[in-house]
Chains A and B, each alone.
Chain A
C-alpha cells in the first residue's frame, strides 16, 4: 500500500495564479484532511471531509476550496494564490468518520512557494 500520496511535491506560483493540490489514499479511509504547516505554528486545518460528498471548513479556509472527488481522492484548490499561502501542505486520512481517538495518516507534503 502506498498510504497517502500527494502531488506535486513542490510548486512555485506567481501571485494570482491558480493550482490544485492532489491527494489520494488507498487505505479505504472515510475521513480526509488538508493542513498547512508554517514555522512556529504547528499544523492548522484548512478543510476536512468526513465522508464522500461532504466537506467542512477548518481553522484557516479562506482562499481555498476543496473537492472530495470520491472516497480515495481529496483535492485542494487555490483560486488566486497569494504570498501568504506559501507553506507546506499536508493531506491526511483516518479510518472512521471523525471519532476522537482516530489516528491520522499523513502524506509526504507539498511545498508551495508563491512569489
Chain B
C-alpha cells in the first residue's frame, strides 16, 4: 500500500534561513509525488511535482525538491525563507491503482520568524 509521512508537524525558521520540510513515501511502484502549499484560510495550490523526468524538481516561489529513491524521500527545500512562506505544506503521492487520486501526508506548518 502507498503512504506518505511528513516528519514534523511544525517547523520554525528565521527569515533568511534554510527551509527543509521532510517527506518520506512508501510505494511498491515508481511514484508520482507532489508538494502543495496552503496559505491561511485558502485552498491548496501546487508547489511542484515529480513525474520521473528529473530527480531535482524546481517549483514556484524558489522551492525545490529532490527525489531520492534509495531513501524513499522527497524533501522540500528553499535556501532562504521569507515571511510570506509561512503556510502549511502537504506532501502527496498518486494512488497507483486508482488513477489521479492522491494520498496526502498530515501536513507541516511552517512558521517564519523575523
Q: Do A and B bind each other?
A: yes
Which of A40, A42, A99, A107 interacts with B100 by CB under 8 Å? A99
Kindly supply a per-residue 1/0 record for chain A positions 36-51, scoring 1 wherever the CB is within 8 Å of any chain B CB and 0 otherwise.
0000111111001010
Q: Contact between A106 and B43 (Cβ–Cβ < 8 Å)? A: yes
The residues in B between 36 and 94 inclusive whose CB is less than 8 angstroms from any CB of A are 36, 41-46, 49, 51, 90, 94
- For B31, give the chain A residue with the smallest CB separation: A100
Given contacts A94-B100, A97-B99, A101-B94, contact A42 B43 (CB under 8 A): no
Q: Contact between A103 and B42 (Cβ–Cβ < 8 Å)? A: no
Q: Contact between B49 and A101 (Cβ–Cβ < 8 Å)? A: yes
Determine the chain A residues whose CB is within 8 A of the CB of B45 once the complex forms.
105-106
**Number of residues in B with C-beta < 8 Å to the partner?**
24
Kindly supply a per-residue 1/0 record for chain A positions 18-47, scoring 1 wherever the CB is within 8 Å of any chain B CB and 0 otherwise.
000000000000010100000011111100
Q: Contact between A43 and B101 (Cβ–Cβ < 8 Å)? A: no
Q: Contact between B44 and A98 (Cβ–Cβ < 8 Å)? A: no
Please give the residue numbers on chain A whose beta carbons come within 8 Å of chain B beta carbons, in ascending order: 4, 31, 33, 40-45, 48, 50, 58, 90, 92, 94, 96-109
Please give the residue numbers on chain B whose beta carbons come within 8 Å of chain A beta carbons, in ascending order: 9, 32, 34, 36, 41-46, 49, 51, 90, 94, 96, 98-102, 104-107
For this complex, 5 residue pairs linking A to B, each with C-beta atoms less than 8 Å apart, are A45-B101, A50-B99, A92-B44, A98-B100, A104-B44
